[in-house]
């Protein structure tokens, strides 16, 4: 395996890490309006429980996307340039949604006002649903191919990206991330929030199976390779297993299976793409491949040495973070809102 193949695999691994870890962050945000709704808990309390399950890790999970983008830029600059120019609008929308989500999470507790918190909650919901859908649309189009000309410019517009295959991909990522988040919330919470998250996960698994199954089957039949049938079977078996495990309230194993489903799907997409990085629908000769889109061998060699030293450190540190914050969060651990303590001064 040459360095170009190594870095194609590393970019895939970084996106796998992002979708597995940020996927349940998106899912928790997507479910904030409904989780714990049937309980006696105040809406603010149950939403604070949900946010506290991802509170110590969500910003670290986003680093995987930054690293994946940086690795793509350094290892495959032609891929990066064509992708970000041709997918400018959807990627901009994703970026805006992520910024809104970040601000909403960070600023939600800064003002003790119900309307302020409601606005922040809507920001979190918007910033979770939009990327969850558009990432599926984007990656489905990358695998399907877009209209790349001889100058490596994308000629298709935004609405050309909204084809049936890509829309099914967006619906798949939205449902799978919502399921992933519900299972994570059940794993990390207690009391009424956990009970409700288990019920939501069991319900979400039912539509997720045919939708995700249809998408991975379409991907396999249209773009897959012989050995990638294993990935289709793994994704399908994992989602089916989630149904039984959530009903049995074995959320730990259910979370493992949602991770398996996400990993199998992303590996299927990258395996179907290889050796291309962006196929052209105009002429296969115009497609970007790991050969014509990569940096020089020296650049790849320097990057490989840097990755060999830094990647284990990052993984160990993030694993330690998850270990420290491994306990369940209960509504009893959520203190009442503290009013603003500013008083008007009289002289």
The DSSP secondary structure of 260-281, one letter per residue, reads: HHHHHHHHHHHHHHTTEEE-BS
Q: Give the confidence band of 344 by pLDDT, cuts at 50, 70, 90.
A: very low
What string of DSSP letters covers 51-91? HHHHTTTHHHHHHHHHHHHHHHHHH-HHHHHHHHHHTHHHH
The 10s digit of each residue's pLDDT in 75-117 is 999 999 999 888 999 999 999 999 999 999 999 888 888 899 8
The share of the chain scoring above pLDDT 90, in percent, equals 61
| Tens digit of each residue's pLDDT (9 = 90 or more) over 152-192 | 888 888 888 899 999 999 999 999 999 999 999 999 988 88
| Region of poorest pLDDT, from 30-39, 110-119, 284-293 | 30-39
Q: Give the pLDDT of residue 42.
A: 77
Is 254 in contact with 242 (CB distance < 8 Å)? yes
Torsion from C-alpha of 278, 281, 284, 285, nearest 10 degrees: -80
Domain residue spans of the chain: 3-202+268-324
* C-alpha to C-alpha distance for 174 and 218, rounded to whole angstroms: 17
Looking at residue 337, what is its pLDDT?
A: 60
pLDDT over threshold 80, residue 334 = no
Mean pLDDT across 240-252: 89
Residue 144 in this model has a pLDDT that exceeds 70: yes
Q: Are 263 and 16 in contact (CB under 8 A)?
A: yes
Q: How many angstroms separate the CA atoms of 300 and 91, rounded?
A: 26
Q: What's the pLDDT at 258?
A: 95
278: left (phi over 0), alpha (psi -120 to 50) or beta: beta
Q: Is the pLDDT of residue 123 over 60?
A: yes
């Amino acid at each position: 395996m040459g360095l170009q193949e190594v870095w194609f695999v590393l970019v895939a691994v970084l996106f796998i890490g992002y979708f597995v870890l940020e996927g349940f962050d998106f899912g928790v945000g997507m479910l904030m309006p409904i989780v714990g709704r049937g309980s006696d808990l105040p809406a603010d309390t149950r939403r604070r429980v949900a946010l506290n399950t991802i509170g110590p890790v969500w910003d670290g999970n986003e680093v995987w996307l930054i690293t994946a983008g940086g690795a793509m830029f350094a290892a495959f600059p032609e891929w990066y340039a064509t992708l970000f120019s041709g997918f400018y609008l959807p990627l901009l929308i994703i970026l805006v949604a992520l910024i809104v989500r970040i601000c909403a999470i960070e600023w939600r507790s800064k003002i003790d006002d119900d309307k302020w918190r409601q606005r922040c909650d809507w920001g979190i919901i918007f910033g979770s649903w939009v990327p969850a859908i558009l990432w599926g649309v984007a990656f489905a189009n990358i695998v399907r191919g877009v209209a790349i000309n001889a100058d490596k410019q994308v000629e298709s517009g935004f609405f050309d990206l909204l084809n049936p295959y890509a829309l099914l991909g967006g619906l798949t990522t939205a449902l799978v991330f919502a399921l992933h988040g519900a299972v994570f919330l059940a794993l990390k919470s207690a009391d009424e929030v956990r009970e409700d998250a288990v019920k939501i996960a069991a319900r979400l698994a039912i539509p997720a199976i045919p939708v995700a199954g249809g998408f991975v089957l379409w991907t396999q039949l249209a773009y897959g390779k012989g050995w990638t049938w294993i990935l289709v079977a793994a994704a399908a078996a994992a989602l089916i297993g989630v149904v039984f495990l959530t009903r049995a309230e074995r959320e730990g194993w259910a979370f493992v299976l949602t991770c398996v489903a996400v990993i199998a799907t992303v590996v299927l997409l990258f395996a179907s793409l290889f050796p291309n990085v962006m196929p052209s629908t105009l002429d296969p000769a115009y497609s970007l491949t790991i050969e014509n889109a990569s940096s020089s061998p020296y650049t790849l060699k320097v990057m490989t040495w840097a990755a060999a030293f830094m990647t284990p450190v990052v993984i160990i540190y993030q694993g330690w973070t998850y270990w420290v914050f491994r306990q369940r969060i209960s509504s009893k651990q959520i203190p009442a809102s503290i009013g603003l303590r500013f008083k008007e001064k009289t002289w």
